Structure 1
C-alpha cells in the first residue's frame, strides 16, 4: 500500500507522465499551410488521425483518456478496388467507389460485351439486358458501392465473375482509382441508442447486408489469440459468438488485479445478435457466460463493431 501511494505521487512530475492531464491543458495550433503550387499527388498524411464518430459518451467512474482506434481495424475496400461478399443465398461485389463513379463502368461493361439493353435507369441503379440484370446501390461504407448481377431473380455467377474481372482491370488503370480518391466522405449513419442500462447499435441497412459485411470483417479481424477471437457464426440466427477482452478488463487497475490475485487480462465470451428493425438492423452485445457485461463495455464493443464498417 505504501508503494502504491508513493508511485501515485509520481504521476505528474516523477517517473512517468499521466497523459490524462494533457487533455485539460491542450491548445489548438494553427494548421500547417503548404504552397498551392505543390504537386498534390506527392503529398499525403503520413500518420492520419481517424475522425471522432458519434456523440461524446461519458463512461461511469473517473474520466480516462480514450485510446485511439487503430486505422487498420477493418479490412476496408480501398479506392478503386473490388471485393466479393456473400451469404448462403446471395453473392455480390463491393467496389471502392461511389455509385456515380461505378455507373459509367457498368455502362462500359455492357457496351464492351455487345449486350442488348432493354432498360437503363440510373436513378434506381438498374441496367437490364437480354442476358442479365445489373443492380447498383450505395455500399455500407462511405465511398463504396455494391453491384449485383442476376437473371430472373437468381444469382448469375458468370456475369458477376465477368464484372469482377472488369473492375479489377479498370482499378489497375488511373480511371476509376483517381475518380474514387476525389470522393467526399458521406455523413455518419450508424448510431448508438441506450436501452435502459444497455446499449444497442442501429445500422441503416438491411440485415442480410449487415450480416455479410460483419461476418467478413470478424473472420479477418477477430483472430488475435488471447485478445479477440471469433468463436462461432450462426447465419440462420444472425448471431456471432466472440471471445473479447472488454474495456473494463483492459483498464483494470493494479490494486484490483492484486486484490483478485489475477494479474493477467482475461477474455469474456460475448454474443453479438442482429435483428431487423424496419429497414434498419439492430445489433446487441450480451454476455454468453456467467460474467455480466456492463453498459460501458457494451458501448465500447459496439463502437469497435462500427469501426469494422467504416
Structure 2
C-alpha cells in the first residue's frame, strides 16, 4: 500500500514538472535576464532646457578699496564690541527735552503704553497706533493735556517715547509734571520688558520701518546715510560714542554740534597690541592712535556720516570702513 502511494506521488510530481516546463517554453514573454551580456554602448544627447540658469549664483566680489598691493587681513573683532549690553529702558535727553529709549520695537511698546494709561486712570481722548500718538485730556485739577508719541528708534527693534504737555494745541516747555509722568512710564516699561508678556499690536507694526542706516558709495568713498534729521542723528551718535569710545585704541575727545563734528582718536584693529604680554605690561595703543573726525552733514530729512583725518582729508580706507561698519552695527 505504501509503495503504491509512493508511485502516485512520483507520477504527480513528474506531471507537474512537465506542465511547468511546457508553460515556460510556450510563454509569450522572453527571458531578458542575459541581454546585458550582448548589449552595445550608445550615446544620447539631452535636449537643451529653455531658461536654464544657475539656481545658486555666486555674486561678483567688490574690489572697492583694494589698491592691488599686498592685503593683510585684519584681526577678528573681539566678542566685546565696545558697548555694554543695552538696558531694556533708558532715559535720554536732546535739544527737545528728555525722552525714553526702549530696547524693543513699537509693536510691543504700544500695548504697554495703552495699559499704562488704563492703570493710571488717565482720560484718553485719542489714540492712533499707526501714527503712534496717544492724547490725554487735561483734568480739573489744572494739570495740562499730554501727548504721548511713539516711533521707531534709530536701530531696528528699538523705540522712542516722548511726552509733551499741550495747551490750546501748542507744546509747553518740559516741566516737573512731565518729568514725574515720564519717570513713572519708565518704571512701568521696565517691568513690562522684564515680564516679556509677548503682547503685540498689529496696527503699530506700521511704525517698524526696518533698517534706517545704510551704506552709500560716492566718488570712490563710502559713507553712511541715516534716515533721520540732523538733530536726531546727532543725539544718537553722541550717546553711542560717549558709551562706546572709551578705550585706548578708540576714544571720543571732543565734539562741535554747530559744525556736526565728533573729534576722536582711533587705531586700526590690525595695528593694536593684544594678547597676554600687552595685558600684563600694558600697550601703547593710546600713543599710536591717530586723530580723526566723524562728520555729520544734513541732507534734507536724512543725515550723512563720513570720516576725515585731522586735516580734513578723506581718512584711510581701512580706518574708514572699520569705523563706519562699527557704527552701522551698533545702530542696527
TM-score range, shorter chain: 0.5 to 0.7
SS state at 1:106 partner: helix
Aligned-pair CA distance for 1:115: 1.0
In the alignment of these two chains, the number of paired residues is 239
Match of 1:201 in 2: 224
Instruction: Give structure 1 stretches of 5+ with no counterpart.
Output: 1-54, 252-261
Contact 1:77 1:95 in 2 (8 A): no
Higher Rg: 2
Match of 2:148 in 1: 134
**Which of 72, 87, 108 does residue 80 from structure 2 map onto?**
72
Aligned-pair CA distance for 1:109: 0.7
In 2, the alpha carbon distance for the partners of 1:237 and 1:86 equals: 20
Deviations 1:111-134 (A, max 9, x none): 111111121111100001123110
SS state at 2:197 partner: helix
SS state at 2:252 partner: strand
In 2, the alpha carbon distance for the partners of 1:279 and 1:198 equals: 22
Aligned-pair CA distance for 1:85: 2.1
The 5 A counterparts of 1:224-239 are 224-225=247-248, 227-239=249-261
Deviations 1:202-227 (A, max 9, x none): 111222222112111111111112x1
Contact 1:94 1:147 in 2 (8 A): yes
Q: Does 1:125 pair with 2:132?
A: yes
The 5 A counterparts of 1:3-22 are none
Aligned-pair CA distance for 1:65: 3.7
SS state at 1:236 partner: coil
Deviations 1:216-256 (A, max 9, x none): 1111111112x1111012233332100111367559xxxxx
TM-score by length of 2: 0.63
Distance 1:279 1:224, change over 3 A: same
TM-score by length of 1: 0.67
**Which of 107, 123, 126 does residue 100 from structure 1 map onto?**
107
Contact 1:132 1:159 in 2 (8 A): no
SS state at 1:169 partner: helix
Instruction: Give structure 2 stretches of 5+ with no counterpart.
Output: 1-60, 138-144, 274-283
In 2, the alpha carbon distance for the partners of 1:67 and 1:117 equals: 55
Aligned-pair CA distance for 1:68: 3.9
